[in-house]
Amino acid sequence: MEAVTYYDDGKPIKNHIEIGLDFLKPKTDCNDCQVDPCPDDPIYSGDEYVCFNCEVNQVQEKHPEARYTDSDDWIVQRGDLR
Ligand SMILES: [Zn+2]
């Protein structure tokens, strides 16, 4: 795997890897999220949207040590990802 240097507040962070965000789900009780109106209809897939607040909450729940980089990626220390 290629070594990537991430930046947080302009400071380089080494030995971190990016988290995949497939687990994010829009919250039905959130006004800013958009929930897929017809989960079984592929025409509407792609309409789902997770607002940044809910993204932060869900990422921190799953990866309490995650950091948000200047390039809008979530990263964790290499080896911490399970
Ligand atoms: Zn939300």
52, 80: one domain = no
Beta carbons of 81 and 17 less than 8 angstroms apart: yes
**What spacing in Å lies between the alpha carbon of 33 and ligand 1's midpoint?**
4
Tokens representing residue 46 in the block: 């792609």
**What spacing in Å lies between the alpha carbon of 3 and ligand 1's midpoint?**
33
**What spacing in Å lies between the alpha carbon of 36 and ligand 1's midpoint?**
13
Number of domains in the chain: 2
1, 32: one domain = no
**What spacing in Å lies between the alpha carbon of 28 and ligand 1's midpoint?**
8
What is this structure's pTM? 0.79
39, 15: one domain = no
Beta carbons of 76 and 66 less than 8 angstroms apart: yes
14, 26: one domain = no
pLDDT one digit per residue (tens) for the chain, 82 residues: 566 899 999 999 999 999 999 999 999 999 999 987 777 777 766 678 999 999 999 999 999 999 999 999 999 998 766 5
7, 39: one domain = no
27, 54: one domain = yes
What integer pLDDT is reported at residue 44 of this predicted model?
65
**Residue 9 domain boundaries:** 1-19+68-82
